Structure formats: C-alpha cells, structure tokens
Amino acid sequence: MSNLLLLLVLLPAVAAAVCYFVRSHAVRTLTVVATGAILAVASLGLLGQGTFEPVAVGSFLGISSDFLVTILDFALLGVIFYYGYKHKSVLIQAFTLAQAALLVWFECVVLEHADVPALVGDKLSLIMVLVISVIGSLICIFALPYMKEHEEHLQLKKSRQPRFFFFLVLFLGAMNGLVLANNIMWLYFFFEVTTLCSFMLIGHDATPVAVRNSVRALWMNSFGGLAFVIGTMLVYAQAGTLDISALLAAGPQGALMVTGVGFLCLAGFTKAAQIPFQSWLLGAMVAPTPVSALLHSSTMVKAGVYVILRFAPAFAGTLLSDGVAVCGAFTFMACAALSIGQSNGKKILAYSTVSNLGLIICCAGINTPLAITAAVMLIIFHAISKSLLFLCVGTIEQAIGSRDIEDMRGLYAKHPRTALITIIGILTMLLPPFGVLMGKWMALEAGASNIYVIVMLAMGSALTVVYWARWGGSLMASRNADAPAEKQATLIRLPLTILCVGAVVLSLASPWIYNSMIAPMFDVAPFTMSFGSLDAATGSFAVVPLFIILGLGLLYAVKAASGFRTVRVMPPYTGGINAAEDGAYVGPMNSIVPFAASNMYMGELFAEGKLTPVFNALAVALIVLMLGGAL
C-alpha cells in the first residue's frame, strides 16, 4: 500500500520534472501517457485494497516529513508572494504575508508538535483518488496533440509546453496528496500547491487577459488560503489536535471549533468558485481547454467541495450546517440563471460547473446520509460528463474556430463524431437514467425538509434544462451520404471515446457503484438495491429498467431514421412563400429574406452584468450569516 501511495503522490512530481527538463516531444508524450496509465492502475489498486487507517510517513534524508512540509509551506508562500510582487498585486502580497505571519506564530508558539498520521484512506478519499487519477490522466493525454495545435495557432517561436505539462501533471499529484491527507497542515500544503498550479496554467498564454485573470485567481485563492490558516488555528485551539480522523470522530466540539470549521468551509467556497468568488473560475476560461477541463472536473474546484465534505461530520447538526446548505443552494440556482444568458460554450460550462458544485456543497450542508450519497454521486458523474464536454468544446473550437454555440449549429453535418459525443455528454448532464440526474434527484429528496433549500434547488433544476436542451438541439443536423469522414488524432479520439463510454456505462452501473463504494460509508445506508434500482422510503430510481427503455427507444429511432438520406429535405416555412434560394422566403414588399435560426438568450432578464452584482451581494450576506451561525 505504501508503494501505491508514493506512486499516486510523488510519481506526478517526478513526471512533471521530466516534462520540464527533458525538452523532447517524444519523451514528453511517453512520460505523460505512461504516468497517466500508472496513476489509473494505482488508483484502481488502492481502491481494490480497500480503506486503511491513518498511516505515518517516515523521514526523508533524516528530515521529519512534517518539518519538511512546514518548510515547503513557507517556500510556497514565498513563491506566491513573488508573483504578487511581480504583478503588483497588493491583495496577493497582503494575504500571503498574513498567512506567513500566522503560520510562524502557530508553528513556533501555539502548536505542540506531536506525531500525527499523515495519510488516510476512507471511502471518500479512495473515490476522489480514482476520479483524479483516471479523469485527470485522460485530460493530460488529450492535451498532448491539443497543445501542439494550440501553439501552431499562436505561432510561437519557442514552445512553452515543458512548463505547461510540468504544472498540469504536478496538479494530479497535489490533488491526490490533498484528498489522502490526514494532517490538516498537509492538507493546507497541497491546498496551496493547487493554488499555484492553477495560477500558472491560467496565465500560460501570457496574453494581457490571461495574466489579468490568473492574478485574480491567485488573490482570491490566497484569500481562501488565509481563511484556511485561521480555521486551522481555531480548530486546534478547541480540539488540541491536527488529526482529521480524530476530529471527525469526535464531531462538533464547541463554538470555537465550529467557527474554525466555518472558515475552512469559506476556504472551500473560494476554491470551488462559489458566489461571490465565481469570477476567478470564469476568467480561467482564457486558458487552453485542457486546463479548463482539469480545473472544472477533477482538480481545483473538486478540492473545494472535498474540504467541505471532509469536515461535514465536524459541523453536523449545527447552524453552520444549515448555512452551508443555503449558500450552496443559492449558488446552484443563481449560476443556473446566469447560464441562460450565455452563448459562449466554455462560459456555459463554467457557470454550470459552479452551479453543480453549489449543489454538492448544499448536500454537504444538509449532512444526512442521503445528502452525502447525493454529493458523492454528483462528484463522480459530474467529473466524467463535465471533463468530456470541455474536451469536446476544445475540439470543436479548433475545428470551426469558435466556441459560440450559435456557430455550432448543425455541427453534426460536418463533424459527426465530435457532435455525437458532445450530444451524449449533454444528455448525461440532463436526463435520466444518467448519473448526474440521479444525483440531483437524491439531492432534491434530501433537501425536501428545508423550504428555502428545496425552492432554490427546484428553480435551479428547471433552469438547467433550458441551457442544456438549447445547446444539444443546436448540434443536430442531417448528413449527406457521401460526406467525408471526420478525422481526429488518436490521442484526441481516445480520451473523448473513453469518457463518453464511461459516462454511459458507469451510469448503468451506478446501483452497483453505490452498493460497493458509497453504502459502506454509513451505519444505515439510505438506499437498498434491487433489480438494478435504488430504493428508499422516499422513492426509487429504476436505473436498469430505464436503460432498457432507452435502448429500445434508441433502436426504434435508428430504424425510423434509416432512410432519411433518401428523403427530400424541405426548407422551413416562415410565414411567407419559399423562394428559390435554400432557406429563403418572400417577405414584405416581395423582398427575398434569408432564413436564419437562432436560440433565445433572454438577455434583458438574465443579463450577466445586471444579475452578478445582485447575486454577489446576496451571497456575501449569506456567508456572513453562515459564519455568524457558527458563532
């Protein structure tokens, strides 16, 4: 087991160094592919071995591992401060210096340096390791041909890929360390490593807009780091330990500790880009698409929701728990509304990500076995579908030169494979019997007892249908029988296909995933499994029966559409006489009016510029109330 842990945490760091120092495309490709394969196998091996109690990590070259992590903490803060100074950001410098000052006082004056087991593997940790190692590795592999074409488009004289893949691969090791950490100071270290990695990747292209957005991401997440340090100090002041397993086993231990956990939740909010911190993740869309996919699916933002889920037992039954639920539900609803007014594909995905993360955080706040089950199911299936959709948008953007969904209209006619995979990805986010919808159903059932939460969840769910259905419908088209086949690089096609098949197959297997991986987390499991369905007192989700119906319907649709290429396609009727030109009609004064189709975005009602300040102000008020409830 120790070898697997070392592989999962340290191998990405070694591979990152190889990518940076060995400036060979062939070596870099081999390193990334081999590292991804090893991480995937190691994560499956760790899952197969099962959970393990907290374990200590020995010394390195005679230096205590805890002391080494402390030194690395300060070194990391020094690097972040340097970039704050370089970019003249007072906020980064202030938040970094505050963290450093508090850490010096805490380490030298307050903390009694006792041995705390560094790593632990419960069900939640093992599931997160699997998500990070498999999905994150596929994204890194996808990035190999993508970044080559990306740099050709930018016409760079010198490739920046060594640095890019250094931070991309390092991200995986940092995330594995974060979710396996049992010592809060280790958790903080890996938390800050993800902050630095995201900053470097968002600003990778070095354009003014990329630099500006990377700096914003850094100061917001540095604020989260400061909240993390304050929370750690308050928790230690009450509980007298940094052992996460011991803290969770003891449950809430007084107002001081619950307040500390509230600050840890605030740190999770910043990392998960919850309102009012969503702007850093939206700005991250300027980065190359593999960065967006990694941040949104298996690394950065999942670190935020993981922290809140990890410490959920420490605030169960408190007002803080209710506050977290309300804040998460508000973000879910608000970002779903903001998605309605967007036509930029990556921005829709970004708002959708923040919205779904809000739903996961809401479940952590509801804090019942049913709600925690919903949160874990959403983490798994959202990571698969969202990474797939981001990679699809990147592929589409390089194919048509745009990420606007209006420009994707009728994409199937020219790029059928990419369009079909994108449609399947959208359906897995939208409809039953797929895993994301099942997770939302569980969340709605769990939130039914809180009127404020259930109203916001219901409204957010309804708005979600609008922007997904609108996008999916835009991709539909007919394809000529003699149209040339779509060409894709192998390392583009392979991740897309694996993620697409995985989203469907794992949804079909969701009852067994729940039964083997999630149900053992609870003394009394919220569901029982029978005939491929998940059953509870509140209702059932018939996964396998719904898949059978879906399969039969798909076969009928394919048969019914089998002769479409021989049918004459009629132009649309738009209230006038069809003209000779395709898609045109005779309009007023006998003029020829070309036909154009477009979605409705209701810009006046869902204007981003109007809604964002209001939502931000409301979110700040809710967070203040949440922390006040902890006191």
Lowest mean pLDDT among 164-168, 272-276, 285-289, 477-481: 477-481
Q: Categorize the per-residue pLDDT at 330 as very low, low, confident or very high, splitting at 50, 70 and 90.
A: very high
Spatial CA neighbour of 94 closest among 269, 194, 222: 222
84: tokens are 């704050």
543-556 confidence digits (pLDDT tens): 899 999 988 988 88
6-52 confidence digits (pLDDT tens): 889 899 999 999 999 988 889 999 999 999 999 999 999 998 888 88
Neighbours of 608 (CB within 10 A): 17
227-249 confidence digits (pLDDT tens): 999 999 999 999 888 999 999 98
Neighbours of 157 (CB within 10 A): 6
Residues 6+ apart with CB under 8 A from 234: 256, 257, 259, 260, 263
Q: Categorize the per-residue pLDDT at 398 as very low, low, confident or very high, splitting at 50, 70 and 90.
A: confident
pLDDT score recorded for residue 297: 76
**Residue 371 pLDDT > 90:** yes
Instruction: Write the single-letter amino acid at 110.
Output: V
- The Cα 351–Cα 334 span in angstroms is 9
Instruction: Write the single-letter amino acid at 523.
Output: D
pLDDT score recorded for residue 354: 93
Q: What mean pLDDT comes out for the span 116-130? A: 90
**Residue 567 pLDDT > 80:** no
Lowest mean pLDDT among 224-228, 232-236, 321-325, 398-402: 398-402
Cis peptide before 276 (omega within 30 of 0): yes
- The Cα 220–Cα 223 span in angstroms is 5
Spatial CA neighbour of 631 closest among 242, 263, 295, 279: 263
Instruction: Tell if the pTM clears 0.75, that is, is over it.
Output: yes
Helices 123-154 and 289-297 meet at what angle, rounded to 10?
170
Cis peptide before 433 (omega within 30 of 0): yes
Do residues 132 and 125 lie in contact, with contact meaning Cβ atoms separated by under 8 Å? no
Which helix (DSSP H) or strand (DSSP E) does residue 334 occupy?
Answer: helix 319-340
- The Cα 597–Cα 614 span in angstroms is 32
Q: What mean pLDDT comes out for the span 322-331? A: 95
6-9: long-range contacts (C-beta < 8 A, 24 or more apart)?
7/38, 7/39, 7/42, 8/39, 8/42, 8/43, 8/46, 8/129, 8/133, 8/173, 8/176, 8/180, 9/173, 9/176, 9/177, 9/180
Do residues 340 and 285 lie in contact, with contact meaning Cβ atoms separated by under 8 Å? no
Q: What mean pLDDT comes out for the span 205-230? A: 94
Ordered by start, the domain boundaries in the chain are 1-263+279-297
pLDDT score recorded for residue 478: 67
Q: What mean pLDDT comes out for the span 197-216? A: 92
**Residue 542 pLDDT > 80:** yes
341-370 confidence digits (pLDDT tens): 888 888 999 999 999 999 999 999 999 999
pLDDT score recorded for residue 459: 94
**Residue 479 pLDDT > 80:** no
- The Cα 287–Cα 292 span in angstroms is 7
pLDDT score recorded for residue 556: 86
Higher pLDDT, 346 or 575: 346
- The Cα 96–Cα 222 span in angstroms is 7
pLDDT score recorded for residue 454: 94
